[in-house]
Amino acid sequence: MSQVTIVNVGYRSTNFWVISAGTSRLLVDLGWPGSMGMMRASLKRKDVPLEELRYGLATHYHIDHAGAAQELKLAGVPLLVLDVQVQAIPLMKRWTKPQDNYMDITMDGNVVISCSESRALLESTGIPGEIVHTPGHSDDSVSLLLGDGSVFTGDLTHPAFVGLEDPEIVLASWRSLQERGATRIYPGHGPTWPLGTSFLEMFI
């Protein structure tokens, strides 16, 4: 099995992560609305051929994380959707203005799975891991946890910065990630950081 590598193809203050096992790749978080040109340029700059992206996965359906999902689908990147995310997809357009050039995400061609099916699907891409439901920032938030402890958490709120979120739900999501072996956080915004074993104790 090839070694798994991670590169950031993000722009406009959101991280978009490409996880690769050789030429089998996943894109985690899917660009801003109307930004397919920027996405293509960013992939090119990081030597990621678009046609090698096996799936695109949005950590949650907010415009800075899933805005270009339909544009990516039309460019040949299948959209991987968790069953807990289906309801959130049609709500995306509420947060867009006409000048954003948001392309509405259709259900056509989407691969919809449950979190319990994610391990097998990832296995088929050669990228060991699982997708975990991690509500807190939004009900449809999921995290991609790799076998090496790297975890892509989108906007899962840091426990120190809980505002309007339910702190219990946020903490339960972090606890679930930690119990499953998460050690390094790849967030939707900002730099990566290590998840220490005593991390949650500070917030209980």
Binding positions for Zn ion, rule: CB under 5 A: 64, 155, 188
Helices (H), strands (E): how many in the chain?
A: 5, 11
Q: Do 63 and 88 contact (CB within 8 A), yes or no?
A: no
Residue 108 has, within 13 A of its CA and on its CB side, a CA count of 9
φ, ψ (nearest 5 deg) of residue 165:
-70, 160
Closest approach of Zn ion to the CB of residue 33, in Å: 13
64 versus 130: smaller Cβ distance to Zn ion: 64
Closest approach of Zn ion to the CB of residue 59, in Å: 8
Residue 106 has, within 13 A of its CA and on its CB side, a CA count of 5
130 versus 155: smaller Cβ distance to Zn ion: 155
32 versus 55: smaller Cβ distance to Zn ion: 32
14 versus 70: smaller Cβ distance to Zn ion: 14
The C-alpha R_g of the chain, in whole angstroms, comes to: 16
Other CB atoms within 10 Å distance of the CB of residue 12: 11
Closest approach of Zn ion to the CB of residue 187, in Å: 9
Closest approach of Zn ion to the CB of residue 65, in Å: 6
Closest approach of Zn ion to the CB of residue 124, in Å: 29
Closest approach of Zn ion to the CB of residue 190, in Å: 10
Name the token pair of 83: 């069953």
54 versus 60: smaller Cβ distance to Zn ion: 60
Rounded Cα distance between 170 and 180, Å, is 16
15 versus 20: smaller Cβ distance to Zn ion: 15
Across 52-147, the runs of DSSP E, i.e. the strands, are 53-57, 79-82, 111-113, 129-133, 142-146
